[in-house]
Copies of this chain bind each other. A is one copy, B any other.
């Protein structure tokens, strides 16, 4: 469980899958990237090493990694609609999203495990995972005078045919 490369290779083999050059490339790119990259960002970065890599291969690999629990897909609603991926190597954690600038801050809160377990018991369900996203304004945006009480999800909507503006 230490090296994602080997971990992935083992899992692949035990499933009749194959460890290819592109999968290796994607894996190491993933390790080298920080934050919560989109499939496209991973693609662009990886293609620096091998321009022949194809975007659909990135998506396919990411899908498999997600199913294996080696990365966890995230969706920080906001202006960008692309999914992001969290290299969940570290322990479980949660996120704060600034609805104005899109900045994401991570934090971990053990109490959530307890809450999850409690509700699993109360609802008679098995809880395998949870996602908590706090939404609001980061320090910078607040002092920059951004208001945005964020009714919906960080979108700026103007009446008058309701056209969406960018931050």
Contacts and interface: CB of A to CB of B under 8 A. Distances in A.
Contacts of A131: 131-133, 135
A63 B107 CA distance: 30
Interface stretch (A24-32, A33-41, A42-50, A122-130): A122-130
A42 to B, nearest CB: 16
Find the residue from A63, A112, A128 having the highest chain B CB count within 10 A.
A128
A146 to B, nearest CB: 10
How many copies of this chain does the complex contain? 2
A77 B131 CA distance: 11
Nearest to A106: B123
Contacts of A115: 109, 111-112
A123 to B, nearest CB: 5
A96 B159 contact: no
B135 A130 contact: yes
A7 interface: no
Contacts of A16: 159-160
A123 B96 contact: yes
Interface of A: 12, 15-17, 60, 63-73, 75, 77, 96, 98-99, 105, 107, 109, 111-112, 115-116, 119-120, 122-139, 142, 149-153, 155-157, 159-160, 162, 164
